[in-house]
Amino acid sequence: MEYTTLGSTGMEVSKICLGCMSFGSQDDWMLDADEGRELVERAIELGVNFFDTANAYSSGESEEILGDVLAEYDRDEQVVATKVRFAGAKEHRNATGLSRKTIEQELEHSLDRLGMDTVDLYQIHRWDYDTPIETTLRALDDAVRRGDVRHIGASSMWAHQFQRALDVSKREGLARFETMQNLYHLTYREEEREMYPICDRENVGVMPWSPLGAGYLTRPHDEFTETARGEHEIDYGTPYHEGPASEEINGRVEELAEEKGVTMAQIALAWHFQNDNVDAPIVGTSSIEHLEAAVEALEIDLSDSDVEYLEEPYHPVPVFGHE
């Protein structure tokens, strides 16, 4: 395993963050408590110390499963991130959003499910258009001052919103967002235009979600469109698997994987591991085999010409993931 410093937090995290959205029982493809345990335990054996979940993942079951496993390990060694914005275990009028009431009650529930006194990174799960960012930041600052939260982070939003939040924190002397969790992969690079220059200037840690493009970069283009996952993504409206440039990038990932004797997923992840914009991509998987392959991808060395070859066909696509 390799480690890096997460933005300005000073925390040393593994260059793979294990995403725990697959833990729970809301869908057939999810991992139950025993299966989730096996995956987390194997991740720890492989050196992963960074875990990302959310109150909304399987209505809080993800937090429960992760917390139960980590309770058997040295808590000091683990970096745990969770989120607030969407409803957790309860559905009611104040279960969603980023009001003080929602943040405080959902944080309490998350800590209870995780079995922890403090969460290392507490992230807003998208922007709340109904709550002033000043209100949200004051509630999060209080959580930091109480010791319930060590650091705060944000997720996919417009760059002007993120800059506004950073400016409010500076002006009011409040805890600021120190991480950005956004959509980023070889066929979706819109974040490079405005968001990543801000993150670089402000020393904000970047932990992209869906680094494999919801599976698009794990198999040839034609095979992806014929899978159930591919059909779901097309119906969902994701823009990054459409158009000649995306298909060309997909083909180049396949070609380079064959040349190096590795999988397409490993090439796509290796691009993240060598990307100066990225601290630690969030790898969500329901398979120990895929987790082990992701760790092996840390050893793949992409040359400058390899990276240029993978990136060259890219063309702009509609912004996605902010809602």
- The conformational region for residue 173 under phi > 0 = left, psi -120 to 50 = alpha, else beta, is left
Hey, which residues does 52 pair with through a beta bridge?
Answer: 19, 81
Q: Report H helices in the chain.
A: 33-45, 61-70, 100-114, 133-146, 159-172, 195-202, 221-225, 228-236, 244-260, 264-273, 288-296, 304-311
Tell how strand 3-5 and strand 12-14 pair up: antiparallel
**DSSP category for residue 315:** -
Q: Are 282 and 53 in contact (CB under 8 A)?
A: no
Helix, strand and coil percent figures for the chain, each rounded to 5? 45, 15, 40
Q: Are 121 and 154 in contact (CB under 8 A)?
A: no
Which residues, other chains included, contact 112 with Cβ-Cβ below 8 Å and sequence gap of 6+? none
User: Which residues are catalytically annotated?
Assistant: 57
What is the three-class DSSP state of 31? strand
What phi and psi, each to the nearest 5 degrees, are found at residue 246?
Answer: -60, -40
Which residues, other chains included, contact 202 with Cβ-Cβ below 8 Å and sequence gap of 6+? 8, 166
